[in-house]
Amino acid sequence: MAGTALRRRLTWQVAKVSAVTAETITLDVPDWPGHQAGQHLDIRLTDEDGYVAERSYSIASAPGELVAITVERLDDGEVSPYLTDELRAGDDLELRGPIGGYFIWEPEDGGPLLLLAGGSGVVPLRSIVRHRERSGSTVPVRLLYSSRTLDDVIYRAELDQPARGVEVIHALTRHQPPGWTGYARRVDAALLAEVAWPAAEMPVAYVCGPTSFVETVSQALVQSGYPPQRVKTERFGATGGT
């Protein structure tokens, strides 16, 4: 049974793009076994010469919702500009998933939850926040989200109206609008000391974003007393710089 499920998850299949908005690409995946909050999928692009490029994208939607991804455009990237600029509703897209059994959250995992995002690292954390709400969980959540500027904040409208029990704290590292009251610097141990739940409350932390962000934040949390097994990390690679 588990073997069949695994084979299906790891088999490439063709999905149909059902909608494209400024923030999300929604996919109609014919053979989708369902996903958990925090998982990702792989996308494979093949050009007319047979050149193949493969990238991973976190699933932005909650379990039970249509599969959606959010892609941050890297101007000099190979795959992300195609996904953000060229893809239209009705297009085919080759993918496999869902993937990942570690960076996931289920209501029975409890909390309080400390969600720490750098740039597009907010994507799987959005899935977790939505899953919490849809499942009726009331665990308290603190989401600390580091972006370069306010314009770079993904899901801004949604995050401006968080569900009850969800606190969203922004850090803008490069430019802040006039009257900005959030943090105006990079996330470091001192900032975390102000924002993180005390270790004594037995929080679970999920840290996601560019590798350097994840390293800095997870090390600081462990140094502040978080048990390493309660600090879950997902590295998106060298990209970012938040």
Ligand X SMILES: Cc1cc2nc3c(=O)[nH]c(=O)nc-3n(C[C@H](O)[C@H](O)[C@H](O)COP(=O)(O)OP(=O)(O)OC[C@H]3O[C@@H](n4cnc5c(N)ncnc54)[C@H](O)[C@@H]3O)c2cc1C
Q: Which residues bind ligand X (CB under 6 A)?
A: 40, 55-58, 69-72, 74, 76-80, 120, 123, 234, 236-239
Least distance CB 19 / ligand X (angstroms) = 17
Smallest distance from ligand X to CB 235, Å: 6
Smallest distance, ligand X to C-beta of residue 199, A: 27
Cα(209)–Cα(148) distance, integer angstroms: 13
- Shortest Å distance, C-beta 216 to ligand X: 18
Angle at Cα 198 formed by Cα 39 and Cα 112, nearest 5°? 40
Task: Give dist(CA 148, CA 118) in Å, integer.
Answer: 9
Give least dist CB 143 to ligand X, A.
Answer: 16
Choose between 6 and 202: whose C-beta lies nearer to ligand X: 6
Cα distances (Å, whole numbers) of residue 61 to 49, 54, 112, 115, 134: 33, 21, 21, 16, 11
Contact indicator for 96, 13 with CB cutoff of 8 Å: yes
| Positive/negative CA dihedral, 102, 142, 185, 182 | positive
State the minimum distance, in angstroms, from the CB of residue 20 to ligand X.
14
Amino acid at site 161: Q
Residue closer to ligand X by CB (options 72, 113) is 72
Q: Which is nearer to ligand X, 41 or 196 (CB)?
A: 41
Per DSSP, 99 falls in state: E
Would you say 75 or 92 has its CB closer to ligand X? Answer: 75
Cβ-based nearer residue to ligand X, 49 or 76: 76
Separation of alpha carbons 133 and 110, rounded Å: 13
Cis peptide before 112 (omega within 30 of 0): yes
Distance CA 110, CA 106 (A): 8
Q: Which is nearer to ligand X, 74 or 150 (CB)?
A: 74
Work out how close the CB of 102 gets to ligand X at its nearest, in angstroms, rounded to a whole number.
11
Nearer to ligand X, 32 or 103 (CB): 103
Burial of 189 (0-12, 13-18, 19+ CB in 10 A): middle
